[in-house]
Amino acid sequence: MTPPALPDFPWDSLATETATARSHPDGVVDLSVGTPVDPVPEVVADALRAAWNSPGYPQTWGTPRLRTAAVDALGRRYGVTDVVPDAVLPTIGSKELVAWLPTLLGLGADDVVAIPDLAYPTYEVGALLAGASSVRVADDEPLPAGARLVWLNSPSNPTGRVLGVAALAARVAEARRLGAVVASDECYLGLPAPGADPVSVLDPRVHGGSVSSLLAVHSLSKTSQLAGYRAGFVAGDPELVAGLLAVRKHAGMIVPRPVQEAMTAALTDDAHVAETRLRYDARRDLLRPALERAGLRVDHSEAGLYLWATAGRPCRETLAWFAERGILVAPGEFYGPAGSEHVRVALTASDERVEAAASRL
């Protein structure tokens, strides 16, 4: 038996451009990966420190306080009203849940996973790990008839595009007609466009009064700077969450207790989320005009952590152009064939480095 054939890890292909960018006399500006660089909120760090002496096994399901904090945060921040604490499950970051969800749901060789036409690469990897197939579907295209799992992502990685209530509700209704589970990757939901109200798939206006067949995947990496903590959770349909919990108990997929306490603190405090949002808005307001003055067109990019830019030529050429200026970005082809002429520019660099990038452009 051999493990599933997986694509090469995308960022491993950037060695040449990375070397070029690092040779810049003023140092590299790395805008290729959406990893936070700002400090962990003190309220979160305090909770982690207070829980350091946790010798026993943690609860796979998460503490009742954590699950209640998640439900309360979903209500305050996103108007979610139909999720109960028993239908919340902490995860070791969101990427592992994304990668293993098709397997945890029991999908296999005869099943289809529908993913956005421009998508986080791990959606496709998850299908491969389960032995299922994946189909890329644009927002205005119908879902494939055999879909068993449908991924949504708003705000989008990589494009920053936002799906409103009507678009999300239509996709949910379509998936339900097919008997498919809808998994909404809401990693960037806490970073909406300025003045906009973020919309979860668990919003009553989207699901029509029932969370049946719906899962919302949340990460604290972006809104709370907790990428290094590996802190996320999934919430939604109680039966689906119970099934995931049963498998994860057997598999030992457990969030450490100190991280659970840190998550509880992060989900209870909204002030640091508002500060994070303002910080990224300021970086976007500086970097987007600089890209446009340099002759690139920026598409969508109103929310989330990225600017989706094109120079109207192959993305690898644009990648090299940035590298010559000491700036490292991600080629759009990482996210699907539709990104072949775009690059993704992350806002996750310090204010000083973002200012340096804008100056070089």
DSSP letter string over 116-157?
ESS--HHHHHHHHHHT-EEEEE-TTSPPPTTEEEEEEESS-T
3-state secondary structure of 247: helix
For residue 8, the model assigns a pLDDT of 72
Of 78, 70, 83, the C-alpha closest to 238 is 83
pLDDT at 14 over 90: no
pLDDT reported for residue 28: 95
Whether 314 shows a pLDDT value over 70: the answer reads: yes
Task: Report the candidate in 68, 65, 85 with the shortest Cα–Cα distance to residue 257.
Answer: 65
The average pLDDT across 97-124 equals: 97
What does the alpha-carbon distance between residue 305 and residue 348 come to, in Å, rounded to a whole number?
A: 7
**Does the pLDDT at position 115 exceed 80?**
yes
- The mean pLDDT of 55-62, rounded to a whole number, is 95
Among 137, 277, 117, residue whose Cα is nearest residue 196: 277
Least confident among 2-16, 41-55, 62-76, 150-164: 2-16
Question: Among 6-10, 93-97, 175-179, 277-281, which stretch is predicted with the lowest mean pLDDT?
Answer: 6-10
> In which band, very low, low, confident or very high, does the pLDDT at 3 lie, cut at 50, 70 and 90?
low
**What distance in Å separates the CA atoms of residue 211 and residue 360, rounded to the nearest whole number?**
48
Going by C-beta distance under 8 Å and a sequence separation of 6 or more, which residues neighbour residue 74? 80, 83, 200, 202, 216, 235
Stretch 141-153: mean pLDDT: 96
Give DSSP secondary structure letters for 219-240: ESTTTSS-GGG--EEEEE-HHH
Q: List, as own/partner pairs, every contact residues 128-135 make where C-beta atoms lie below 8 angstroms and the sequence separation is at least 24, other chains included.
A: 128/4, 128/5, 128/6, 129/4, 129/6, 129/99, 129/100, 129/102, 129/103, 130/102, 130/103, 131/4, 131/107, 132/102, 132/107, 132/108
Cα–Cα distance, 114 to 134 (Å, whole number): 6
pLDDT tens digits for range 182-215: 999 999 999 999 999 999 999 999 999 999 999 9
Question: From CA 138, how far away is CA 149, in angstroms rounded?
Answer: 15
State residue 10's pLDDT score: 76
Q: What would the CATH number be for the domain defined by 10-39+272-360?
A: 3.90.1150.10
From the list 186, 158, 163, 162, the residue with the least C-alpha distance to 333 is 158
Provide, rounded to the nearest whole percent, the portion of the chain with pLDDT above 70.
99
Q: Indicate the class that CATH gives domain 53-269.
A: alpha beta
- Where do the domains of the chain lie? 10-39+272-360, 53-269
Could you say which DSSP state residue 210 is in? -
Kindly report the average pLDDT of the chain as a whole number.
96
Residue position matching structure tokens 């496709």: 124
Which of helix, strand or coil describes residue 250? helix
At residue 5, the pLDDT reads 73
Residue 2 — very low, low, confident or very high, per pLDDT cuts 50/70/90?
Answer: low
3-state secondary structure of 345: strand
Closest CA to 355 of 19, 25, 26, 24: 26
Mean pLDDT of 299-322: 97
Provide the H-helix boundaries in 52-137: 64-78, 95-104, 121-130
Q: Measured between alpha carbons, how far is residue 331 from residues 11, 43, 81, 122, 317 in Å?
A: 9, 36, 39, 16, 9
pLDDT category at 9 given cuts 50, 70, 90 is: confident
Nearest to 95 by CA among 199, 188, 218: 218
pTM for the whole thing? 0.95
Pick the closest to residue 229 from 31, 1, 51 (CA basis).
51
Conformational region of residue 300, where left means phi above 0, alpha means psi within -120 to 50, and beta covers everything else: left
Structure tokens at 335: 């996210």
The answer to whether 10-39+272-360 and 53-269 have equal CATH topology is no
pLDDT of residue 1: 59
